[in-house]
Amino acid sequence: MSDLNLQSSTIELSKKALANNIEFLKQKAGPGVRISSVIKGNAYGHGISSYLPMAESCGLSHFSVFSADEAQKAIMARTNTDSHVMIMGMIPDDAIEWAIENDISFYIFERGRLEAAKKASDKINKKARIHLQLETGMNRVGIEEHEFESIIQYLLSNRDFIQIDGICTHFAGAESVENYERIQLQKKRFKKAVMKFRSHFDHIPSVHAASSAALLTYPDTLYNMVRVGIALYGFWPSREVYMHLQKSDRREGEDPLKRVMCWKSTIMSVKEVDEGHYIGYGKMYKTIGCEKIATVPIGYTHGFGRNLTNSGYVLVNGNRSRVVGLVNMNMITIDVTNLENVKRGDEVVMIGKQNGHEITVASFGEMSNNLNYEVLARLPADIPRIVK
């Protein structure tokens, strides 16, 4: 009975697509630049426990998470103990010892955290591996320039407890040309800070600032590691980044990234509805002729947002079918009037490919910069992930 799949949808992960994306991004990064695979938000909805071993088998060995709980999932999922896990955000103070014990490196963004790391290291007699997160203009978290000197002194006198694995920063929106000036300033500040830290420490193993968008559009931000999330999964950080690449690489029309995910369900029921009747709750959609309406058992519970009411699309038998009427908690209704042989049990694709046609997350709803990220991250953890 354990193989029985009771879920109303599944998410297939394509190893071939991931290998393709790694190849493309490696080529973009160039030699000597390590790719850290960002797997926060349950690997952008792909599922840490399914994605991570697949990524390892494609050659990735550095993984970035936001928080300690995600780090624990990553450690449990990895198949190679050499795969490294880095926490870019939150660890409760009393979990620092646990992180050190498990060789997890973590961001230090303020003096108090550095002191907590030293204390934990002293207590368990093992060095803490840290990345100094420097404030360069995002104004969220990070060590300020005026603190650099005292932090450097603290690190120099606590070498037995703290090992600098890296120094880093994060850009405030490299995916939009709107933020160009701000990124330029951040780049300048980071470069200066890197010089300062390098003058005090013989070897800083990783210097990293770029995410997907910076990797693809600001080649002078790569240093020796990049933290790549969205692009490894085969999605673009924004349309602007896609356009930029299409122009600079002269590869118009061809998408070098392949979607790793395919989110599928099946048709639950089909019925014909005469002209002039409302479909589903309320008066969101009225038939304009005799229409064939199919139901699909996914809804906003599963991350198929209510904003896709009367506007989202799915693929059925290789055709695009429009969502008609309200997106319900567990169901959508779609117009399949033009599909002749459509029947219960037919495959429906919400994100991904079917017979050469594709639904990207972007066409999943209205365009907005972060829609990709949000839609992916909201896909529930309990949808089965199947590696293909």
Ligand X SMILES: *Cc1c(COP(=O)(O)O)cnc(C)c1O
Contacts of 139 (CB under 8 A, 6+ apart): 172
Nearer to ligand X, 11 or 38 (CB): 38
Between 88 and 127, how does the x/- string for binding to ligand X read (CB under 6 A)? Answer: x---------------------------------------
Q: Between 229 and 297, whose beta carbon lies closer to ligand X? A: 229
Which region, judged by CB under 6 A, interacts with ligand X, from 149-157, 227-235, 323-331, 333-341?
Answer: 227-235
DSSP states of 89-126: EE--GGGHHHHHHTT-EEEE-SHHHHHHHHHHHHHHTS
Q: Which of 73, 129, 170, 264 binds ligand X (CB under 6 A)?
A: 170
Can you tell me which of 84, 227, 264, 292 binds ligand X, judged by CB under 6 A?
227
Q: Which residue has the tokens 């079918």?
A: 321
379 binds ligand X (CB under 6 A): no
The alpha carbon of residue 356 and the mean position of all alpha carbons in its chain are separated, in whole angstroms, by 25
Stretch that binds ligand X, among 114-122, 211-219, 280-288, 304-312 (CB under 6 A): 211-219
Q: How many residues bind ligand X (CB under 6 A)?
A: 13
**Contact (CB, 8 A) for 215 and 228:** yes
Q: Taking CB under 6 A as the rule, does residue 230 contact ligand X?
A: yes
Residue 38 interacts with ligand X (CB under 6 A): yes or no: yes
Site string for ligand X, 299-338 (x = CB under 6 A): ----------------------------------------
- The token pair at 217 is 């559009």
CA nearest to 79, candidates 51, 105, 98, 117: 51
260 binds ligand X (CB under 6 A): no
Q: Is 228 in the site for ligand X (CB under 6 A)?
A: yes
Residue labelled with tokens 């309990």: 382
Q: CB under 6 A: which stretch of 20-28, 94-102, 205-213, 378-386 binds ligand X?
A: 205-213
Q: Is 88 exposed, middle or buried (0-12, 13-18, 19+ CB in 10 A)?
A: buried
Under 8 Å between Cβ of 174 and 214: yes
Name which of 17 and 38 has its Cβ closer to ligand X: 38
Number of H helices, E strands in the chain: 11, 18
Q: Candidates 96-104, 208-216, 300-308, 312-320: pick the segment binding ligand X (CB under 6 A).
A: 208-216
Q: What is the C-alpha separation between 337 and 321, in angstroms, rounded?
A: 9
Residue placing its CB nearer to ligand X in the complex, 109 or 364: 109
Rg (CA), the chain: 24
- Does the footprint of ligand X cover residue 212 (CB under 6 A)? yes
Beta strands 319-322; 313-316: pairing state: antiparallel
> Largest alpha-carbon pair distance within the chain?
80
To the nearest whole angstrom, how small is the minimum distance from the Cβ of residue 162 to ligand X? 21
**50 near ligand X, judged by CB under 6 A:** no
Rounded-to-integer distance, Cα 290 and Cα 301, Å: 30
Q: Smaller CB distance to ligand X: residue 69 or 347?
A: 69
Concatenating the DSSP letter of every residue in 330-371 gives S-EEEE-TT-TT--TT-EEEEEEEETTEEE-SGGGSS--TTH
Under the binding rule (CB under 6 A), the answer on residue 37 touching ligand X is no
For ligand X, the binding residues (CB under 6 A) are 38, 40, 88, 170, 211-213, 227-231, 237
